Amino acid sequence: MKPQVYLARPVSKEVEAYIGEHCDYRKWEGKGKIPQDVLMEELKDAEGVLVQNASVTNELLEQAPKLKVISNSAVGYDSFDLEAMKQHRVLGTHTPFVLDETVADLAFSLVLATARRVPELNNIVKQGKWGKQKDSRQFFGTDVHHATMGIVGMGRIGEKIVRRARLGFEMEVLYNSRTPKPELEEKYGIVYSELDSLLEKSDFVVLIVPLTPETHHLMGEKQFKTMKDSAILINCARGAVVDEKALIEALEKGEISGAGLDVFEQEPVSPDNPLLQMDQVVVLPHIGSATEQTRASMLMKAAENLVAGVTTGVPENVVKELQGLLETES
């Protein structure tokens, strides 16, 4: 008999056909995100599940005694209770690599859009306000080329951003990460920096770290006061990496010049969030990997991880904190 799996999010016909070759499956066909109680009920007999950032709790795992693998069709996995998954010996997988270039494109889109005030000036033209300014300098932005970029988090996506910054815009690049990356320093001419020093010197600060207890509110009141008042913050990581209240205050006080945000502490963002009323802030609806090609590749990779998890027991992209489960099984 084929292993039984559950598809907790919509998938393409191609992905569904691939899973069907190897597994018996049921799928969520309701509108919107699957409710947690429905997911728990569906997983009672499932050996694997394909999700998109579903909340994986100890309570859910206790109701799913046959579960072997949870395949997340995203690169982040902060919705996983990793300790509970270790306890229940359930593998968790994600989809790294396939979205790196796309997220780097998005990060640089926010750099350019904030620096040259693209959305703000687009609105001025469309609202018929062009030509009504007393001084053309009201349209001035700031240069990206040859500026200094500080990248916080130097993983796969960070390296893609470095390549764009150094080779495309001839920027100086400082970076901060858990460990220095001498091979990237030699390859691109970038410089490791302690966080405070990076914030003091950078014209653009790009956040691309995972959300962990250590990175929660990594950027707060102290950090914004350390940044240049002409600097721009770019967040393509997770909303909670930034203390949003402190960011709002820093923008209101002119402690930093602007921000480009793809993520928020609350998603979808509340309509009354002050950030939405600020011309110097560019906001996007968490679309870092949102292109047709990349999302299709992520889904297929998630399907491959799911199938491998319930057949061979050795999926390719087990999240690093759970890779010990593979070693103990062997």
Active site residues per annotation = 238, 267, 286
Dist. CA 160–CA 283, nearest whole Å: 22
- For residue 12, CA distances in Å to 9, 50, 69, 76 come to 10, 13, 21, 21
- For residue 26, CA distances in Å to 18, 74, 298, 312 come to 14, 21, 20, 21
Find the helix or strand (DSSP H, E) in which 192 lies. strand 191-192
Dist. CA 150–CA 197, nearest whole Å: 10
Percent composition of the chain: helix, strand, coil (DSSP 3-state, to 5) = 40, 15, 40
- Say if CB 98 and CB 298 are below 8 A apart: yes
- The residue assigned the tokens 């750099």 is 111
Dist. CA 67–CA 69, nearest whole Å: 6
DSSP state of 270: P
Write the burial class of residue 17 (CB in 10 Å: 0-12 exposed, 13-18 middle, 19+ buried).
exposed
DSSP state of 75: S
